[in-house]
Amino acid sequence: MKNLIFTGFLLLASCTNTPTIINFNDKSVGTYNPAAGCVSLLLKQDCSKIIGATRHIEIDAIELRISGSVDGRVILIMSKPTLAPDTIALKEGATAIKNFFFKKAIKLIEAKVIYGDNIIVGHHYTFDVDAYSHLKTLTVKPKAY
């Protein structure tokens, strides 16, 4: 049921105009509309056309969902499915993931956000090497919400 409500939220958010650039963490970053699908986001692993990222991970006690490109260089990060995106968990989780990759000397090439209705619903990163394989080691069984 919560997946259905979350999907409804994403659909409503995608109906709004999405700016091409927003100020995020004191930087100008590009955006994608929440209606952008797996194909347009270059995601082939663990991605659903309806709810986005489907692989559940936990990093620093933060539950997230991820999806990746075929070569693992492109990653989508979303919060666990709830009635609406958990923006606090998403922000903290994105920071934890950046630190995780920094320690492994994996370089972030590009960062964009999935943005609609004044809410960031996901982070879309491109790395210099396969980063997705590293994140998959953090996979957990989805918890009942």
DSSP string, 40-86: TTT--BSEETTTEE-EEEEETTEEEEEEE-TTS-EEEEEEPPSSS--
The pLDDT value given to residue 106: 97
* pLDDT mean for each 10 residues of the chain (145 residues): 47 47 56 75 91 94 96 94 82 95 96 84 94 97 75
The pLDDT value given to residue 21: 58
What SS3 state is found at 16? Answer: coil
Please give the model's pTM, rounded to 2 decimal places.
Answer: 0.78
The pLDDT value given to residue 142: 84
The pLDDT value given to residue 119: 84
Q: Please provide the size of the chain in residues.
A: 145
The pLDDT value given to residue 99: 95
